[in-house]
Amino acid sequence: MKIALVSPYDFAVPGGANNHICHLADHFARLGHDARIIAPASRREGLRRDGLIVIGERSIGLPAGGSVAHITLSLTLGPKVERVLASERFDVIHLHEPFVPLLPFQVLRRSKVTTVATFHAAKDEGRRWYAYFRPAISVWWHKIQGKIAVSPAALRLISRYFPDDYEIIPNGVKYDRFASPVPPFAEYKDGKLNILFLGRLEKRKGLPYLLQAYAQLKARMPDTRLLIVGPDGGMRQACDGFVQRERLKDVVFTGYVSEKDLPRYYKTADVFCAPNTGNESFGIILLEAMAAGTPVVASDIEGFAYVVGHQAEGLLVPRRDTTALADALLQLLSDPDRREEMGRMGQIKAQSFDWYHVSQQVLSFYKRVAEKRASLALEDT
């Protein structure tokens, strides 16, 4: 089967949807399928990926759910899409966020084969977007024969404006990569208990709330450390200022770290903490921590609750509640047996989200959609 995986997002900029597409393409290829990725890309150097078809070479950054989405708004995409579809002759076209400007929409308009779409978002901005553009989107909705949402949170958003039949097929995790035994960072294994925050330092990730909770925790449990891993997204200066004003000890900002070091940080942590404030359709970082056997404390938001069971693989607390966050961290850090049990349960659950299983679910969905499309075509003849 020849499959096109279409992204609206600049492929030169790392992001969740593009990572999702890459994992699907890799597993499709291992299963003997010909998978091509169609995406804009503002640069080609460093993009070492076979089967990447670049359409659109300029991108702009637009605010999206507390982050920035890099997309192309070129008005010359249509003829290029036409040529690619005519020459490649795909069996299945799989659009990711089909109505994010502008590339997937141009592909949808011209698709004449089995067409599937995945809806990733559960952002507040999505409500305004779908409400405003619903009349225009409705004209093309019928061209999508198969609809996927990555979680109940993503399903709730899209189905509010476009009621239809959807299949929930989640994001995945490279289970073996995070479950494999790798050494923790020795400099942090000094008897102190480590809390790990991992992500871009931007507002929706909730780091200021974790810092306030850590200040409460540190007064009650001095032998703790907070590891903050990730590049600055606009919050570093304010967070640094809080640490200095409060004279908080044992707060380590690592900045950006390489992908190969991420499993070691999860293995170094005694607890992984995700204090996000919302706009998360899924908890990929939670799955990574769970695969590593690290128990989780996270905000009780819909996208996270789909992945982590409260009192099972971790503890979920009300978002922005610094006292509840400090109490949950204290509970787990004070109880090594409970951490071990939650870590074990997390690994079991994370294994079911391995990309091998997810890619199989997607391929099975393609087959069902194609069969239904063929059956309807016969009925019309």
Residue 173 is encoded by which pair of tokens? Answer: 């995790």
Q: Which residues contact 191 (CB under 8 A, 6 or more apart)?
A: 223
Q: CA-to-CA distance for 151 and 108, rounded, in angstroms? A: 23
Q: What's the confidence (pLDDT) of residue 306?
A: 95
Nearest CA to 55 out of 29, 69, 67, 73 is that of 73
Q: CA-to-CA distance for 369 and 358, rounded, in angstroms? A: 17
Where the chain has pLDDT below 70, the residues are 46, 62-67, 123-127, 381
Q: Where are the alpha helices (DSSP H) in 225-279?
A: 236-246, 262-268
> HSE (CB half, 13 Å, CA atoms) of 328?
27
8 A C-beta contact, residue 222 and residue 243: no
Residue 191 is encoded by which pair of tokens? Answer: 């008897």
Q: How far apart are the first and last CA of the chain?
A: 25
Q: What's the confidence (pLDDT) of residue 73?
A: 81
Nearest CA to 338 out of 284, 271, 286, 292 is that of 271
Q: Which residues contact 241 (CB under 8 A, 6 or more apart)?
A: none
CB atoms within 10 A of CB 178: 22
Query: How do the domains of the chain map onto residue ranges?
Result: 2-172+354-380, 175-351
- Residues 294-351: pLDDT tens digits? 999 999 999 999 999 999 999 999 999 999 999 999 999 999 999 999 999 999 999 9
Phi, psi (5° rounding) for residue 105? -65, -40
Q: CA-to-CA distance for 44 and 57, rounded, in angstroms? A: 9
CB atoms within 10 A of CB 16: 18
Q: Which residues contact 45 (CB under 8 A, 6 or more apart)?
A: none
175-351 under CATH 3.40.50.2000, yes or no: yes
Fold classification of 2-172+354-380 is Rossmann fold (3.40.50)
Q: What's the confidence (pLDDT) of residue 109?
A: 94
Q: Where are the alpha helices (DSSP H) in the chain?
A: 16-30, 77-88, 103-110, 124-141, 152-161, 175-179, 207-220, 236-246, 262-268, 284-291, 302-305, 322-333, 336-351, 355-380
Angle at 183 between CA 181 and CA 187, to 5 degrees: 160
Same fold, 2-172+354-380 and 175-351: yes
76, with CB counted inside 10 A (0-12, 13-18, 19+), is: exposed
Largest CA distance in the chain: 76
Pairing verdict, β 224-229 and 146-149? unpaired
Q: What's the confidence (pLDDT) of residue 166?
A: 98
Q: CA-to-CA distance for 134 and 126, rounded, in angstroms? A: 11
Q: What's the confidence (pLDDT) of residue 66?
A: 56
CB atoms within 10 A of CB 207: 27
